[in-house]
Amino acid sequence: MRSISQLRHDEVVSLRLKGLSIPEISRETGTAKSTVRRHIAGVVVPKEFESLLREKQGGAKLRAQGLRDNQLVEASRTLGTVSDRDRLFLLIGLYWGEGTKRDFSVINSDPMLIQAILSSLPALGIDSSRISLSLRVHSDISVPLAKTFWSKVTGLPQSRIGRIEVIEGKKKGKLLYGMCRIRVQSGIRERLLIQSAISLIGKDAAERVIST
């Protein structure tokens, strides 16, 4: 942990008391933002400077939001129209990172990741009639609420949700509705196809890395 002198500490605190933001204090004193943040912890800004500081913080949030919006536009322009081939590569990548090796199934707590997989399965000719779901939830999570949530996320009726594994203990992190497993029934051929594609992509990557 980087330390600063008492004089610098006093300067950092003094600037904070005048309503300066963390980036401003960092620039003014030549001190890292993380160090500034640590040394102003617990410092209460006088009421006369509170509104000034809030305006600066609000401006920073607006700039950050503007940057995110710009990058979203740039990402959309770069990505263009998503083709079936793109979805196939997405499915390969997701299965590579999250899929099981014994059957064609993927489990995750991220709704968007689950939806990305479901939207990519048709690229392999897999329709929703071959998909079954199962859930893994902590004991303090409402099973009916979890079933309702994942049914809405997947667009599949709750009757398609089979096994529900309950884990003793409280939910951790962002597992508000547990984890959802997508399983493709009779998916041996597709699983082997994806695993073969992973092997080819991995071999190509190794050759490219080694040759550089």
pLDDT digits (tens, 9 = 90+) for 82-132: 899 999 999 999 999 989 888 999 999 999 999 999 999 999 999 999 999
The pLDDT of residue 93 is 93
Burial of 24 (0-12, 13-18, 19+ CB in 10 A): middle
Decide which of 3.30.1360, 1.10.10, 3.10.110, 1.10.3210 is the CATH code for 6-78: 1.10.10
For CATH 1.10.10, list the domain ranges present in the chain.
Answer: 6-78
CA 129 to chain centre: 28
Q: Is residue 1 over pLDDT 60?
A: no
Contacts of 131 (CB under 8 A, 6+ apart): 118, 121, 154, 156, 160, 182, 183, 184, 185
